[in-house]
Every structure is written in structure tokens, then in C-alpha cells.
Amino acid sequence: MSVIYDEKESKENTINNDEIDLVELFSVLWKGKITVILITLFFAVGSVIFALSLKNHYKSEAVLAMANASNDSSVLSNLSGIASMAGINIPNADQDKTNLVIETIRSRAFLRYLISNHDILPSMMATKSYDTESQEIIFDPKVYDANAGKWVRKPSKNQQVKPSYLEAYETYSNQLSITKNKATGFLDVTVEHLSPIFAQQFLQLIIKEANEQLRNQDLRESSDAINFLTSEFPKSNLVSMKEAISVLVQSRIERQMMAKINTDYVLKILEPPFIPEKKSKPKRAIICIVITMIGGIIALMWVLFRHYYLQSNVRFAFRGR
């Protein structure tokens, strides 16, 4: 009986202690409410100042489709039967060039080509702000002298006054986003910048030059293939082989024709780049809410820490006496 009574008493004491602790906890927080309010208010004001100091970014978007995938697929599928009889291997008719396009646009070599042939480096690397009234980019005078058209920055070790394409690649990667929509198979491409106009122009330039480079690459490969097949034609004694070569040459000529007459040879623009009217970031309201909540949590922790830390020191000092 005594054992059961002791267990009940210990449970009741535990419940009472928990209730006392909760009451004490709320009492401590209530006594420190002014401190909590002041610290939270400090973080709230600071979050507003911080959010307003952030610059607006604008994102231009475009939706692209592979333009010549279906044409190549139908041509190569017709050739596969004849070529296989002649002992010639034909690439997969359904081969998707989407990954090739994505990696081409993301590559350092592509950025190097853009920088070498177009005056985009100052807008990429030296933009300080954007004037909404004049719709012009304001360059950082410590980095780039817009009047003289010269770079005036102080480069760090192993860097030049004018940023290289390798240095600009990090900025390029942050500004550019290109992904394949798994549901539709289309490419979603975006460019983000302080200037909405430059974002749209830069995205247009990327699409145009990607099309141009991939078209020139196909033209070179087709010409090499035609030259090779033409040289192999007289060497073949088999009629089936000559027929296969003739059809292959014809297909390569058709590809060259399509590449020369179509400006959107590889990438077909379904939704063209636009000048964004609304900023893409920062989300100032969310920033203010998050920072204010963090400030409130820090304030509560500080009040509790101060109370229990001082209380433990008083107890320790009392025991020492």
C-alpha cells in the first residue's frame, strides 16, 4: 500500500511541478514583455530598411520547341531500312537534341562567343541600378566608365581590368535559367537582370545565337557528310550500297536547304521574350515577416535566458555563502 501511495504522490508532484513551471514561464515572459516588444520592433524596423535597400530584379521568359526534330525523324526512319541492307549505320531517328541545346546555351564557349561578338559584358558585370524614367542602365563608376567605354575597376589577383568570360560565367549562370518541361517537352528559358529591357534583349540574343550556332554546325556536318558519301559512291560495286548513298546524300542536301531557309532552324519560339512589368524579386513582404519572426523568437529566448541564468547565479552565490 505504501508503494502505491508513493507512486501516486510522485505523479501528483510531477504534475504540480509542470503546472508551476508553465505558470512561471508565462510569468517570466509577461514581465519581460517590454523587452520582447522592443527587440521585435527593432528587427521589424530593420527588416523594412533592409528590404527597401534591395534592388528590383526583372525576369524575361520564353518558351521554345525543337523545330527540326520531326523532320529529321521522318527522313532518317525512311533511310534506316535501305542503309541497314547496305551495311551503313544510321543514328537513332528519334534522337532528341534538347540536351544538346541546353548544354550549348549553358556552356562557357557559348558565353565567350556572345561576349566576343556583342557588347553585353558591361551590362552583365557593371550594372549598379536601373533608371525607370529614362529606362537606362546606370553603371558603377568604380567598375566601368560608361562615357569613355573603359573598365576602371581594381581587379583581384589573377584577374584583369576587363572581366574575362570565365569570370563572367558565374554571373551568366545566375542570370540564366533553362529547363525542359517534363510534361510538354518544351524549353523554358529565363533571364533575370536589374534592367527589364536588357533581360528581354539578352534573352532574344541567346535564342538567336543558339539557333545560328546549331544551324552552322549542322551545315558543316552535312557538307562533310556529302563530301564523304560522294567520294565513296564510285568505290561501291553494290547497287544497294549506291542506292543507300544516294538517298543519304539527298537527305543531307535537304537538311542544308532547311538550315539555309529557316531562321528558327533548331529552336522554334512559341512564346517570345517580353519586357517584364513586375519585379521577380525581392519579395519584400516575406522578408519583413521572416526577419520579424526571427526577432520575436530571439527576444523570447533572451528574456528566458536572462531570467534563468540570473536565477541560477543567485542560487549558486547563496549556496557559496
**What does DSSP assign to residue 148?**
T
- pLDDT higher than threshold 50 for residue 4: no
For residue 59, what is its C-alpha cell? 525576369
- Domain count of the chain? 2
Mark whether 17 and 117 lie in a shared domain.
no
* 175 inside domain: yes
pLDDT value of position 213: 85
How far apart, in whole angstroms, are the C-alpha atoms of residue 194 and residue 176? 13
Select, from the ranges 100-109, 221-230, 308-317, the one with the highest average predicted confidence (pLDDT). Answer: 100-109
Nearest 5°: phi and psi at 65?
Answer: -130, 155
Mark whether 97 and 31 lie in a shared domain.
no
Burial 208-229 (b: 16+ CB within 10 A, else e): ebbbebbbeebeeebeebbeeb
Mark whether 199 and 310 lie in a shared domain.
no
- pLDDT higher than threshold 90 for residue 193: yes
Mark whether 102 and 195 lie in a shared domain.
yes
pLDDT value of position 319: 53
Q: pTM (2 decimals)? A: 0.73
Long-range contacts of 159-166 (CB under 8 A, 24+ apart): 162/121, 163/121, 163/125, 165/108, 165/111, 165/112, 165/115, 165/116, 166/108
Dump pLDDT digits (tens) for 20-39.
477 777 888 888 889 899 99
Mark whether 193 and 135 lie in a shared domain.
yes
- pLDDT higher than threshold 90 for residue 256: no
The CATH number of the domain where 171 resides is what? 3.30.1890
Residue-number span of the structural domain to which 66 is assigned: 58-271
What whole-number percentage of the chain has pLDDT above 90? 47
